[in-house]
A and B are shown apart, each in its own frame.
Chain A
Amino acid sequence: MDYCLHKEKSVNDKTILLVEDNPDDEELTLRALKKNNILNEVNVVRDGQEALDYLFCQGAYAARDPRRAPAVVLLDLKLPKIEGLEVLKRLRADERTRMQPIVILTSSKEEHDLLNGYRLGANSYIRKLVDFTKFTEAVRQLGLYWLVLNEPPPQMR
């Protein structure tokens, strides 16, 4: 499902893939992006399998252009069907998605999750804070960094 947040033009045509099963968190993340004038296209998938289908352009996403990789994947850890860390593992094991920027965006600050997140090759690990003001600020910096500051790997340009 595509979310074109505003009719206004975004800073660039980079897209974000949000992997999130909680509709409240989805709404709050989209709201935080909007509040910070991050108007890029955000695609939302709601479980681990759908995330893999989207990124590998298979299943329901077979028609998707594989050259249009998202600038960043915001990956929740606790997901239906295939959990976040497993999704990360499979993405890193595949040549097509080995370099895909992936940010873990999760409630957990369990050491186990942090350790495995980085071990499996996450580019960053951001906590979804309870305080929405702080959460909004985190999303603002996240968007700015991955959509504007960060240079993506060459094959994804």
Chain B
Amino acid sequence: MTGEITREAERDQAVDPNSYAKAILNILADFSDEKARLSGVQKAILNILEDSASEKVWLEATQRATLNILEDFGAETQKVEQTNREMAKEIAERKRAEEALLKAKAATDAANQGLELVNKELEAFSYSVSHDLRAPLRSIDGFSQAVIEDYADRLDDQAKDYLNRVRAATQRMGHLIDDMLALARVTRAEMRRETVDLSALAGDVLAELRKSEPDRRVECHIEPGLVAEGDTRLLRVALVNLLGNAWKFTGKQARARIEFGAHPQKTGGPAYFVRDNGAGFDMTYAGKLFGAFQRLHTSQEFPGTGVGLATVQRVVHRHGGQVWAESAVGKGATFYFTL
């Protein structure tokens, strides 16, 4: 472009030197204007190019960042998916555990209901025994006595003896029923744990035994201050039976002695004991000792129903303890129990 303008200017010079100069000046002015404009455009273009380059860098960076983000997002998505899977697994496990728990609860509820039912039945049974089983016995005993009284002149001694045997048997049966009911009561009675003064309890029981047979002379020794955690009423039942046995089986001893005390043990609480110097028993039969209706002596030797020690065992077991005995015939017996 510059070259063309120069040639035009040379042509005009030939026509008029004045106008030629003017024209040149004009051209030059125009030219410089144009140049400035061009350089502005150039600058603008350069600027634009420059801007676009930085824009490109920026774009590239953005692109990289986006890619990074996308990459990160992918990893993150994987992580979230993994977490989701784990959570789903945990939820399923929890659900299973919950179901198992509900099942176990249902089973426990059913078992409890069954237990309650059995207890109710036992109660109904005891109630019926208490009311109904005694009534016929009273009839047998009562009318036997009525015959003895009203027809005495028509009965010989053997007839009277037979009727008295009938009466004795009914009374024995009555005692059996009472003892059986007591045993059942020990099993179903509710446990109320409290601090129990066993020494005082043993003292009460022995005082009652003394009152029942004031003529007997029995040397009693109670270790003072023996205190345990347990159900007072049940423990009283146990001591009534243990001390009652000691009292009964020393009945033929000229110098009877009954002792209540406690031995410390290597583990656990102390072993309480009731010791007597009475008839004792053969340890060969010790296994039968705590069974209901088991007796190691005949009723002629020592009366009893064979329920006492079974009752003691139930009381001790309900306290989570153990009961055992040591004895020899004629050498007395010692009954130990833990609580």
Given known A31-B146, A130-B171, contact A109–B130 (CB-CB < 8 A): yes
Cβ-based interface call for B138 (8 A) = yes
Q: How far is the CB of A154 from chain B (nearest CB, A)?
A: 36
User: Which residue of B is nearest A35, CB measured?
Assistant: B149
A107 B130 Cβ-Cβ under 8 A: yes
**Contact partner, B170, options A31, A77, A128, A130, Cβ 8 Å:** A130
Given known A28-B138, A77-B131, A106-B131, contact A131–B146 (CB-CB < 8 A): no
Give the chain B neighbours of A22 by CB distance below 8 A.
135
The contact string, 1 if C-beta is below 8 Å from chain B, for chain A 19-47, is 00010110010010000000000000000
B142 A78 Cβ-Cβ under 8 A: no
**Bound-complex Cα distance A98 to B174 (A):** 35
A110 B130 Cβ-Cβ under 8 A: yes
B127 A107 Cβ-Cβ under 8 A: no
Q: How far is the CB of A57 from chain B (nearest CB, A)?
A: 30
How many residues does chain B have at the interface if contact means C-beta atoms less than 8 Å apart? 24
Chain A residues numbered 85-120 whose CB sits less than 8 Å from any CB in chain B:
106-112
Cβ-based interface call for B213 (8 A) = no
**Bound-complex Cα distance A132 to B167 (A):** 9
Q: How far is the CB of B235 from chain A (nearest CB, A)?
A: 17
Chain B residues numbered 117-159 whose CB sits less than 8 Å from any CB in chain A:
126-127, 130-132, 134-139, 141-146
B134 A133 Cβ-Cβ under 8 A: no
**Bound-complex Cα distance A135 to B134 (A):** 13
Give the chain B neighbours of A62 by CB distance below 8 A.
none
A24 B131 Cβ-Cβ under 8 A: no
Give the chain A neighbours of B132 by CB distance below 8 A.
78, 107
A25 B138 Cβ-Cβ under 8 A: yes
**Bound-complex Cα distance A22 to B144 (A):** 17
**Bound-complex Cα distance A65 to B97 (A):** 74
A129 B130 Cβ-Cβ under 8 A: no
**Contact partner, B138, options A77, A107, A110, A111, Cβ 8 Å:** A107
B138 A130 Cβ-Cβ under 8 A: yes
**Contact partner, B137, options A31, A109, A112, A130, Cβ 8 Å:** A130
A107 B171 Cβ-Cβ under 8 A: no
B142 A107 Cβ-Cβ under 8 A: no
Give the chain A neighbours of B136 by CB distance below 8 A.
24
Q: How far is the CB of B332 from chain A (nearest CB, A)?
A: 33
Given known A108-B127, A110-B126, A130-B171, contact A24–B142 (CB-CB < 8 A): yes
User: Which residue of B is nearest A128, CB measured?
Assistant: B138
A78 B171 Cβ-Cβ under 8 A: no
**Bound-complex Cα distance A106 to B134 (A):** 10
**Bound-complex Cα distance A144 to B144 (A):** 25
Q: How far is the CB of B135 from chain A (nearest CB, A)?
A: 6
User: Which residue of B is nearest A133, CB measured?
Assistant: B145
**Bound-complex Cα distance A44 to B337 (A):** 52
Give the chain B neighbours of A108 by CB distance below 8 A.
127, 130-131
Give the chain A neighbours of B145 by CB distance below 8 A.
132-133
Give the chain B neighbours of A24 by CB distance below 8 A.
135-136, 138-139, 142-143
B138 A135 Cβ-Cβ under 8 A: yes
Chain B residues numbered 180-194 whose CB sits less than 8 Å from any CB in chain A:
181, 185
**Bound-complex Cα distance A108 to B138 (A):** 13
Give the chain B neighbours of A77 by CB distance below 8 A.
131
B130 A131 Cβ-Cβ under 8 A: no
Give the chain A neighbours of B130 by CB distance below 8 A.
107-110
**Bound-complex Cα distance A56 to B136 (A):** 32
**Bound-complex Cα distance A127 to B167 (A):** 18
A110 B171 Cβ-Cβ under 8 A: no
25 pairs from A and B in contact (CB 8 Å cutoff): A22-B135, A24-B143, A25-B139, A28-B142, A28-B143, A31-B146, A78-B131, A78-B132, A107-B130, A107-B134, A108-B127, A110-B126, A111-B185, A112-B127, A128-B134, A128-B135, A129-B138, A129-B174, A130-B170, A130-B174, A131-B141, A131-B174, A132-B138, A132-B141, A132-B167
Known contacts A24-B136, A28-B143; 18 further A-B pairs (Cβ under 8 A): A22-B135, A24-B139, A25-B138, A78-B132, A107-B134, A108-B127, A110-B130, A110-B181, A128-B134, A129-B174, A130-B137, A130-B170, A131-B171, A131-B174, A132-B145, A132-B167, A133-B145, A135-B138
Q: Which 4 A-B pairs have the closest CB atoms?
A: A130-B174, A24-B139, A132-B142, A28-B142
